[in-house]
Amino acid sequence: MGRTGTLCNCFIASFRTPISICRRKKPLIPWRKLNLMATSMDPSDTKTYQQNVLVMRHGDRLDNFDPTWEKTADRPWDPPLIQNGLHRAFGTGREFRTRLPFPIHRVFVSPFLRCIQTASEVVAALCSVDDDPNAKSSNDVVAIDPSRVKVSIEYGLCEMLNKTAIRIDVAPKDGIFRFDVPQLEALLPSGTVDPTVEPVYKELPQWEETVRDARSRYERIIKALADKYPSQNLLLVTHGEGVGVSVSAFKEDTNVIEVDYCAYSELTRQVSLKNESFSAGNFVVLTESGQTGVTYIAE
């Protein structure tokens, strides 16, 4: 069933199927061509086109490679990426830039450090003025064009705040996950942060949200961000569970069983825009099982 609304509408829906996460294989990047359709004769005419949304997992997190790190960390629940994770994120960003048949206009990112670092590498690759094929990370980028992509931190994309995702012995003792947003924004490429964006989720979920609630949250935030920017293509940088939901919530009778580091799903829907209102069809999952690091099976 389709959707209608204004340019700022958000919608809420339910979620169905489970997911388990594996962290092994390097993601594969498929080549897919989409046809954009547009009619623009007069401002009052209806414009119809495809909106594309990518939902991406962060790169390789340090605590899965160095179990001793958390013993001395101030924030053991918020690990950074290892060097290979930075390189993987940058490489995925280069693949987006060179192989996707559409531009990415906006990036929304979970406030967890591993996601911020992933988004920073991807955005640096997308905004690089000179696309150097030998570049391995943002450190190799000489100059960027910040007008190409805008970035915003979105609490609704955060990790599941429960013991399924974060061990109780590393979680904050008071159950409050604190983030210094200006400090995190400073880690993103200069000029790419959009200070005018109001987040959909003004606050983090409460600690010990249920798995069901977290999965419903991921589905809601994907729809809400797409509806907030119906004329733009989006990249959402989140956690493995969020990528799994982006497939199973929009592909009937599907169970996601594997989401690799920097794996991503690709969703598309038709949007009709006229004056200040829009209508949109349902999302279609374009990612095939085993592609882009996401594996799923029919239930």
Average pLDDT on 79-87 reads 98
pLDDT band, very low/low/confident/very high, at 43 (cuts 50, 70, 90): low
Q: What is the pLDDT of residue 1?
A: 47
Average pLDDT on 115-129 reads 97
- pLDDT higher than threshold 90 for residue 232: yes
Q: What is the mean pLDDT of the chain?
A: 88
- pLDDT higher than threshold 60 for residue 36: no
- pLDDT higher than threshold 70 for residue 282: yes
Average pLDDT on 172-188 reads 97
Residue 34 · residue 102 · CB < 8 Å: yes
Predicted TM-score (pTM) of the model is: 0.86
- pLDDT higher than threshold 90 for residue 5: no
Q: What is the pLDDT of residue 133?
A: 86
Q: Which domains can be identified in the chain, with CATH numbers?
A: 47-298 (3.40.50.1240)
- pLDDT higher than threshold 80 for residue 2: no
- pLDDT higher than threshold 90 for residue 179: yes
Looking at per-residue pLDDT, the higher value among 297 and 33 belongs to 297
The rounded percent of the chain whose pLDDT value lies above 90 is 80
Q: What is the pLDDT of residue 287?
A: 96
Q: What is the pLDDT of residue 274?
A: 86
